[in-house]
Structure 1
Amino acid sequence: MMTERLRREREKEAYADLHSLLPPSTKNEKNAIMRGAMLRIQELRGHKQALERRITELQDAGIESDHREIDSRVVKKIRIKVENPTSGLDSILDVLHLLKRSGAETTSIESRFSRQELEAAMDVNTQIEAGEVEEAVQRSLYDTERKLLSRGSPRSCVSQN
């Protein structure tokens, strides 16, 4: 007698848990709960099949699919050279701020500072075209030097490999 009561209580709790997963309009009757659950399962199976078809289509198109966002970023090597820099550190910082604002990720920086020259090589992970990155970095360097220099414009060179 006691075991039957426990079995019914567990069954009632299971129906209540299942009912909580269904839309609020579902009646709180065993048959209605089971019908709603079956419809929901069929709906989810349909979604699963549609997603599997989409994954197959993407793989056939040569696009690898994982659980992260599909990303077409490419690492570009940017080389910076500024002769007679007013402030090499300010130049590098402004370039880094520019890259950050554009959504690029700088993965490594190698630089050499002296009074006569600033040289730096950066690996930049970005979706932006190489030419656009190069132009933006060049403009940033010129703007920084123009702000810091009271005399003639800097002679700078930016190249991308």
Structure 2
Amino acid sequence: MQPHVETAIRDWQQQFEELQTSAADMMQIAFPPLEVLQRPTGCCDTRLQWEEENGEGSGYVCIDDFMQATLQFENVPHAVAGQALDEVFGPSWFDGAAEGVQQAGAGVYYWTDDTNAAEWEVTVLPGGLANLSIEYTNAPDIATLLDSLRIAYEDQGKEDAAT
């Protein structure tokens, strides 16, 4: 291989790794409980894990080679998930949730983003919990949702402290 091609490949690899690190930093700034897993992660090169101390909520965020992100969170309080999603999207964005996710009853609510083929699914469980499954969206969209989730968790903590 020609030396200038080798140099170009190394430069590209370095910038790619810096972009992956920057994406992970962005996710942790938006949702500080996320922890970066060491490679190999079992899926994408960059994977961040989250688990509530009380074991109630958990999940992960993966960032693939195309800077698309996947988020899988389980057992998020419905009020928290609903507040965050309704803040980001507004009401009636998800199929079947005309008044917003926060007001939706038990069931599966879905939205597909035609611009990037992202799939957003919220499963509201009986008993006040929800699961979030978001696939193939851009990393800044996931960071936006993570920030809204962090704020919603903080708001719930304030409400719990007041009661």
Using the size of structure 2 for normalisation, the TM-score is: 0.32
More helix by share: 1
Who wins on radius of gyration, i.e. which is larger? 1
More strand by share: 2
Using the size of structure 1 for normalisation, the TM-score is: 0.32
**Which has the higher relative contact order, 1 or 2, with Cα contacts under 8 A spaced 6 or more apart?**
1
